[in-house]
Amino acid sequence: MILRKTAIFILLSFLNCAGVVYSQVFYSQNTPTYKSPIVGYVTAKKGLTIRSCPSISCDKTGTLLYGDRIILIGRSENQEEIDGITEYWYKLEWQHSFAWIFGGFLSNAMPKDTPPVLGRWRIENQDARYYWNFSPDGYAVHGNPLSGGGLIYGGSSFVGVWTLRGDNLIIKAEHFQTQWGEISNRRDTIKIVITAIDRDRIIFRFSDGLEHILIRDNAP
């Protein structure tokens, strides 16, 4: 429920002004001049603990799921060794405050064994503010702040719940918001046939014949 409310809050705020597997080395070990913000993906299959400060002794404030996409806005001054891995801690915004996660369980690429739709996507050759985001907890966000005439669902944005059955993506959408800031109680079931070109490109085919090529958005 907290994650769902957070997704709705992110959507509305945006319109009114993310065992252990290691997929690849994260930024810090080979990047002495770290610059934030950057995007990271969680590679800990059992989840990554969020802490109140950059140390394993700090209080736990939450957990990120395997494949979660997060925006990292800072890095600790010192490294720490956890489970034989020496890495920095990374800062993120969490529940209207700041928190920290250990960089040893992060990657700059989505883990390869996650569902092909997982992550944030933008439509090829369209304004990057038109996006789809599918999180590991099963929630979807479609951001479409400017209708511009004729984009998906008449310029509306929404949150919803997604499931993937083979190549069939089903989204139960609600909390629609228009370009004028109006929120309706409309509910809709959106059915999309997907074709994964590769891990960073995917085709969405809608029931009305509309087709979009989506590109994974790794920009913060």
**Burial readout 171-202 (b: 16 or more C-beta within 10 A, e: otherwise):** bebbbbbbeeeebeeeeeebebebeeeeeeeb
Sheet holding 48-51, edge to edge: 60-64, 48-51, 97-102, 89-94, 74-75
Q: How far apart are CA 207 and CA 38, in angstroms?
A: 35
Of residues 2 and 53, the one with the higher pLDDT is 53
Rounded to whole angstroms, the maximal C-alpha distance in the chain is 54
Question: What is the reported pLDDT for 130?
Answer: 83
Of residues 15 and 127, the one with the higher pLDDT is 127
Q: What is the pLDDT of residues 12-24, one digit of tens each?
A: 343 333 333 333 3
Q: Are 182 and 175 in contact (CB under 8 A)?
A: no
Q: How confident is the model at residue 155 (pLDDT cuts 50, 70, 90)?
A: low
CATH fold label, 119-216? Lipocalin (2.40.128)
Strands 69-72 and 85-87, sheet pairing: unpaired
Q: Are 38 and 27 in contact (CB under 8 A)?
A: yes
Which residues of the chain form beta strands (DSSP E)? 38-42, 48-51, 60-64, 69-72, 74-75, 80-82, 85-87, 89-94, 97-102, 106-107, 119-123, 131-134, 139-143, 157-165, 168-177, 188-198, 201-206, 211-216
Does pTM surpass 0.85?
Answer: no
Q: Does residue 141 surpass a pLDDT of 80? A: yes
CB under 8 Å to 167, separation ≥6 — which residues? 193, 194, 195
Structure tokens at 70: 């997060």
What class is the 22-107 domain? mainly beta
CB under 8 Å to 179, separation ≥6 — which residues? 144, 145, 146, 147, 155
Q: Are 7 and 135 in contact (CB under 8 A)?
A: yes
Question: In 3-state terms, what secondary structure has residue 210?
Answer: coil
Q: What is the pLDDT of residues 158-186, one digit of tens each?
A: 889 999 999 999 999 887 776 666 777 78
Contacts 24+ apart (CB under 8 A), 147-155: 147/178, 147/179, 151/126, 152/206, 152/210, 152/212, 153/188, 154/178, 155/179
**What are the extents of the domains in the chain?**
22-107, 119-216
